[in-house]
Amino acid sequence: MADEIKAAGIEKFDGTDFGYWKMQIEDYLYGKKLHLLLLGSKPEKMEAEEWQLLDRQVLGIIRLSLSRRVAHNVTKEKSTAKLMEALSGMYEKPSANNKVHLMKKLFNLKMVENTSVTQHLNNFNTITNQLSSVEIEFDDEIRALILLASLPSSWEGMRTAVSNSAGKSKLKYDDIRDLILAEEVRRKDSGESSSSGSALNINTRGRRHDRGSSRGRSKSRYRSKSKFGSRKQVECWNCGKPGHFSRNCTKPKKPEADSANATTNEVQDL
């Protein structure tokens, strides 16, 4: 029986997350058509002896799904209904300490860089479900805002974009969840790590563009210097001496006809 419970994926209840364990054990008993024992009321057509045997079997099933520490607290319970009632009284009652503990867990929950978004959502939903079991319910928009706030700093660009696009309309948890999952897929497809946000990429592209522009200007200045740096090889058409152009020559100017031809030669030399 213990192996069957383990195969069903039911983890031993160790005193934490009673709501999740209770859901699992109830689903298991319903699947085996043993759920009537949870209600504690014998069907009229069933013999008392048969009912007692069945109740004892289900009691054993539930005990096998408890950790040793928890099981010691309910050893006196002799029926399935009484056992579940005792466990609920110890671990499900909405005490102030339990509420404070769960609220601290929720508000301290932060997604770690480079971890799965799905895992973070599972952690988030686990805590909110536990809070729901102790009668603390959140408005849909509040859940969406808490989820956004739990994202790491590398998601700041996405968080800002979502907040700005919402305007005065209320955020919906399902929409935010879907956006976060889609963003994770986009980052994986583009080869980005979860620690590189869209805002960071924009800044990086800007810096690369600036460096590219600087290199372009440097090459342009270099070409300019190369083009005009051979001034010593230029020969003045006016005096015939190298090292300067005719417009800078201090000698008497030649006639206009020669000037036109010389100007053409200077342009070709450049």
- Residue 175 or residue 254, greater confidence: 175
Compute the mean pLDDT over every residue in the chain, rounded to the nearest whole number: 78
pLDDT at position 118 over 50: yes
Nearest to 117 by CA among 173, 181, 179: 181
User: What long-range pairs does 161-167 form, CB within 8 A, spacing at least 24?
Assistant: 161/198
In the structure encoding, which two tokens stand for residue 228, read together? 């005009």
Mean pLDDT to the nearest integer, 106-122: 92
Nearest C-alpha neighbor of 151 from the set 126, 183, 103, 185: 183
Residue 113 clears pLDDT 90, i.e. is over it: no
Range of weakest confidence among 54-63, 220-229, 252-261: 220-229
- Dump pLDDT digits (tens) for 42-84: 888 899 999 999 999 999 999 999 999 999 999 999 999 999 9
Residue ranges per domain, the chain?
2-91, 96-189, 228-270
Q: What one-character-per-residue DSSP string does the chain give?
A: -HHHHHHTTPPPB-SS-HHHHHHHHHHHHHHTT-THHHHT---TTS-HHHHHHHHHHHHHHHHHTB-HHHHGGGTT--SHHHHHHHHHHHHTS--HHHHHHHHHHHHH--PPTTS-HHHHHHHHHHHHHHHHHTT----HHHHHHHHHHTS-GGGHHHHHHHHHHHTTSPP-HHHHHHHHHHHHHHHHHTT--TT--HHHHHHHHHHHHHHHHHHHHHHHHHHHHHHHS-GGG-B-TTT--BSS-GGG--SPPPPHHHHHHHHHHHHHH-
**For 151-184, how does the pLDDT look when each residue is reduced to its tens digit (9 = 90+)?**
999 999 988 999 888 888 899 999 999 999 999 9
Q: Which residue has the higher pLDDT, 42 or 264?
A: 42
- The confidence band for 140, taking pLDDT boundaries of 50, 70 and 90, is very high
What pLDDT score was predicted for residue 264?
44
Of residues 200 and 62, the one with the higher pLDDT is: 62
pLDDT for res 233: 54
